[in-house]
Chains A and B, each alone.
Chain A
Amino acid sequence: MPERKIRVMVAKPGLDGHDRGARVLARYFRDAGFEVVYTGCHQTPEQIASAAIQEDVDLVGLSCLSGAHRALFPKVVQLLREKGASDITVIGGGIIPEQDFPMLYEAGIKAIFTPGASLDSIVEWIKTNIKPH
């Protein structure tokens, strides 16, 4: 029996144009055998949530290096909930000060990775925590 393939989305919310990390991640996820939808930069939380549902992904990975994560990350989680898609896991990464972790976890972000996080550890986290829908 063929097994379920993990589908993930890598998205960049807000005006942040630092897309190197997101691209590196997308490629690494592909090499880990995932199907990766990449949305590109400058996405509103609404666009991200709606695309995640259209693509039936298991996980949305948000990347933000501009400092706007406090507003944008929780908004994506909230929108997914409103659209009946709270089973889609949301994680994030980028320049995120440690003092913001609690509020992000509180808002429903399941994991946060900052510069220096090894790509393998991220893939490992996904493989351990995501069971495809």
Chain B
Amino acid sequence: MDSLVKKICAGDVRLASRLIRDIEDKLPEAKAKIKKLYAYTGKSFIIGITGAPGAGKSTLTDALIAALRKKNKTVGVLAVDPTSPFTGGAILGDRIRMQRHAEDAGVFVRSLATRGALGGLSHAAGDAIHVMEAMGKDIIIVETVGIGQQEIDIINHAHSVVVVLVPGMGDEIQTMKAGLMEIADVFVVNKANRPGTNQLQTELASMLNLASKNGKGWQPPIVMVGDAFEPGAFAEKIAELERKIEEHHKYLIESGKLTERMHRKAMAEINDALSACLLEPVIQKLASTGELDSFAEKIKSRKADPYTVAEEIAKNYFIRQDKK
């Protein structure tokens, strides 16, 4: 076995975090390393936690870590926060809520910035998951950035998706039917001691009722989580949440849906890898020769349209390949 692979499989946090960074920074050697690591990935159970900004995703993640550690599960966490589109910098603040686990060798928390990715994650998320899988984490929790309705890349990575909602946003559910509401395997109504909780719960339940009429299968349960600052009741609710996630995991296995999801995930991985190995080099080359700018100029002045430009680039690129 390759020595890097050996060390990462043995749980070397330094090397693992550095490799995740190489992936984020798109270093060419990162890809080669992931190739070697890939055979050792795919054995962890992956939980996605998503929902609006400030919904309480990190606080729930922290509590889930604690619950899973009580069962002696090792946990990896990828916590994604937004990159500033203006400066390229980012404040990665999810970790604040999870710092009590910092000294626990069974927990590895790594923050990621979105770096321009629009799906609620980072381009590095997929491979960062692979690294944590190779480290042998039993469970990997992926916290997305605070999202709206459509930033749902998480479904291509997680086995179970937890959608966190909070009361008091009016009749949001009506308008949130698409996207976010459809990807939930488990709903959490968080801060469920606030005004509007009953209404949210009723709306959610009736939405789920309508949806369930067209068949059996998994019914996303709703877990009402009260105040994080009432430790006893909160811990009970987190235990319930953990049970529901586990039930969903069992359901996936027993119904055969797990293989379906793995297939979908593999397709998404091919898609990502293909665009990384085909598209990115072309764009980089065009950018370095200045062609990209001159194409942009042509489109700007309406001397050309983007489709023709794309076709021309595609043609050139493949002719070049043929001649070799």
Tally of contacts, chain A with chain B, CB under 8 A: 90
Could you tell me if B89 and A51 are in contact, using CB atoms closer than 8 angstroms?
A: no
Chain B: residues with Cβ within 8 Å of the partner, total of: 29
Residue from B26, B83, B91 in contact with A2 in the complex, judged by beta carbons closer than 8 Å? B26
A113 at the interface (CB under 8 A from B): no
User: Nearest Cβ in chain A — how far from B128, in angstroms?
Assistant: 11
Q: With A53-B17, A56-B20 given, is the CB distance from A47 to B99 under 8 Å?
A: yes
Could you tell me if B21 and A56 are in contact, using CB atoms closer than 8 angstroms?
A: yes
Could you tell me if B13 and A40 are in contact, using CB atoms closer than 8 angstroms?
A: no
Q: With A39-B95, A46-B103 given, is the CB distance from A55 to B14 under 8 Å?
A: no
Could you tell me if B88 and A2 are in contact, using CB atoms closer than 8 angstroms?
A: no
Could you tell me if A37 and B14 are in contact, using CB atoms closer than 8 angstroms?
A: no
A70 at the interface (CB under 8 A from B): no
Report how far A67 CA is from B25 CA in the complex, Å.
38
Which of A22-30, A89-97, A99-107, A114-122 lies at the interface with chain B?
A: A22-30
Could you tell me if A37 and B95 are in contact, using CB atoms closer than 8 angstroms?
A: yes
Closest residue of chain A to B90, judged by CB?
A: A35
Could you tell me if A54 and B91 are in contact, using CB atoms closer than 8 angstroms?
A: no
Could you tell me if B89 and A38 are in contact, using CB atoms closer than 8 angstroms?
A: no
Report how far A78 CA is from B263 CA in the complex, Å.
47
B75 at the interface (CB under 8 A from A): no
Could you tell me if B84 and A55 are in contact, using CB atoms closer than 8 angstroms?
A: no
A15 at the interface (CB under 8 A from B): no
B108 at the interface (CB under 8 A from A): yes
User: Nearest Cβ in chain B — how far from A59, in angstroms?
Assistant: 14
Report how far A23 CA is from B88 CA in the complex, Å.
18
A85 at the interface (CB under 8 A from B): yes
A3 at the interface (CB under 8 A from B): yes
Could you tell me if B99 and A51 are in contact, using CB atoms closer than 8 angstroms?
A: yes
Contacts of B99 in A (CB 8 A): 39-40, 43, 47, 51
Closest residue of chain B to A50, judged by CB?
A: B102
Could you tell me if B14 and A38 are in contact, using CB atoms closer than 8 angstroms?
A: no
Residue from A3, A4, A29 in contact with B89 in the complex, judged by beta carbons closer than 8 Å? A29
